[in-house]
Amino acid sequence: MTMPFYAPPEQMMKDKADYAQKGIARGRSLVAFRYDGGIAIVAENTSSTLRKVSEIYDRIAFAGVGRYNEFDQLRIAGVRHADLKGFAFSREDVDARSLANAYAQSLGHVFTNEFKPMEVEILVAEIGLEDDGRGDQLFHILYDGTVVDEDDWVVLGGETEEISERFEEALPDAPRSLADGVRAAVAALAGPERTLSAESLEAAVLDRGNDRRAFRRLTDEEVAAILEA
Amino acid sequence: MSLPRFGPHDDPGPDFAALLRLTGAGPESGPLGAAAQHPQAPPEIPHGTTCVAVRYDSGVVLAGDRRATAGHLISNHRIEKVFPADRHSGVAIAGAAGPSTEMVRLFQLQLEHYEKVEGTQISLEGKANQLGQMVRANLPAAMQGMVVVPIFAGFDTASSRGRLFEYDVTGGRYEERDHAATGSGSLHADTVVKLGFRPSMTRAAAVDLVLDALYVASDADSATGGPDPVRDVFPVVAVIDADGYVRLDDAELRRRTERLLRRHRTRREGEGGAS
């Protein structure tokens, strides 16, 4: 019987974390922020069919960065979790916090027990029932299952420090309009050397003004109009 | 509740009913499935009855009365049998009230679940087939008296027109060109619709026609409820066109119902029948 080489647990965890972070850093980033009518998510995404931002439930949206097939699996699992819960109980019993915890459990389990960690970072956003946005929630979940409850805005993906710095500077104080927020997000994602066109962006909102299903994608034309203004 | 995840071999895909089966939360463990294990018909349970649908120039009108009966008793005066299925389609259901509403809930979720998982909508034809499969799955319960027979109506965004589908107890699906009816009063209601139907009717004419049809059905069928201006109970009427499913508000229904009743009264007086 052969003995495996000994590797200290600290080293194993660090190797896994490095591996996951590298994978995430290879992809494009995204920004989510609160605005006066709800929550907006803006992602850099050249594909118009492989989505990073999607609808989970009436007032809940999902966004992922990193490896597409992995966060898309998580997205579908989230839709299933929410729809099953809504069917078993009622629509108002489906909430982002419980979904974020389920994601954290699943990601944490994969990180510690499986050979390869998931190379993803995900966001679960929910708009509250009050018009003043008090119930809005942004949960940022990392590859190892760490959950961070963000207050006003969040950046996911690689180069988050640079993007966060630029975004914080450009973002007007709350309450801000959707257009102001989107312009700040696009400028932060692009950085000083690039400009991003509407075609290379994916944007969606959870709009308090919508009916039951608050999620809505912004079309390229809408984004272009905001950027030109 | 943990995150439901599946391997590539048992993944239910965008099918919510299959997901329910796999997670053990499906209707097999609820009233629909339970019926299959009991050889006897259940005691008298609430039944909803008459629904009609009419195609007009830019969409479809779907309507249902508000009465539920259990045997010879009226069990509910305000039950609703017409529901939105999604943005551009709706269902009207006649039959055992419990299994009917459960089927509608499952159907609505099935469409929304598919749309969210796949990122696209099912075609109108696909939605009609999905509902047919659900009716067929209810056949064991139907054999014991818990029949569910829906009408499915929608605006087909691909061909820009309203479409109607009727079903039988076995899940058989039949597309109707102009109008459809289901439930105990459907014979009377359908006759009124048949006589009053004109190709390319306006929305207003189609709404008046379905109200008349339900009124006449309630006059002949004890399980169909007529309009009740005293308690402010009117049929549920929904129109589905390019802008989507809209349920008419009670103010409009009251106005149209009062006009309908006046018309019937004038006709009787004209014939010298008033006493």
Confidence (pLDDT) at B38: 65
pLDDT at B27 > cutoff 80: no
Considering the domain boundaries, does residue B83 fall inside one? yes
| pLDDT at residue B149, rounded to an integer | 96
CATH number of the domain at B230, please.
3.60.20.10
B2 at the A interface (CB within 8 A)? Answer: yes
Domain-located, residue B33: no
Tokens read off for A95:
């909430």
Question: B209 lies in a domain?
Answer: yes
Quick one: pLDDT band at residue B35, thresholds 50, 70, 90? low
B185 found inside a domain: yes
Look at the block and give the residue holding tokens 């509407």.
A198
Q: Is residue B249 part of a domain?
A: yes
pTM of this prediction?
Answer: 0.92
**Chain B residues whose beta carbon lies within 8 Å of the beta carbon of residue A87:** 16, 20, 25, 105-106, 109
How many CB atoms neighbour CB B104 within 10 A? Answer: 24
Average pLDDT estimate for B140-167: 94
Could you report the per-residue pLDDT of A73-128, keeping only the tens digit for each? Answer: 999 999 999 999 999 999 999 999 999 999 999 999 999 999 999 999 999 999 99
Architecture of domain A28-228: 4-Layer Sandwich (3.60)
Q: How many domains does chain B have?
A: 1
Is pLDDT of B39 > 90? no
pLDDT value at residue B207:
98
User: DSSP 3-state helix, strand, coil percentages of chain A (rounded to 5)?
Assistant: 40, 25, 35
In-domain check, residue B219:
yes
CA distance B27 to B146: 14
Q: What is the mean pLDDT of residues B127-145?
A: 94
Q: Which domain holds residue B71?
A: 42-268
For residues B223 and B205, what is the distance between their CA atoms, to the nearest angstrom? 26
Name the residue ranges covered by the structural domains of chain A: 28-228
> Is residue B32 over pLDDT 80?
no
Its ipTM equals 0.92
Helices B97-118, A68-88: axis angle to 10 degrees equals: 170
Q: How confident is the model at residue B229 (pLDDT cuts 50, 70, 90)?
A: confident
- Cβ A158 vs Cβ A122: under 8 Å: no
Whether residue A81 and residue B4 make contact (CB cut-off 8 A), yes or no, is yes
Q: Does B48 score more than 90 pLDDT?
A: no
C-alpha distance from residue A218 to each of A223, B28, B51, B149 (Å): 7, 40, 39, 40
- For chain A, residues with pLDDT lower than 50 are none
pLDDT at B160: 95
Query: Rounded to 5 degrees, what are φ and ψ at A95?
Result: -135, 160
Mutate to test the interface with B, among A83, A85, A107, A213 (most CBs of B within 10 A): A83
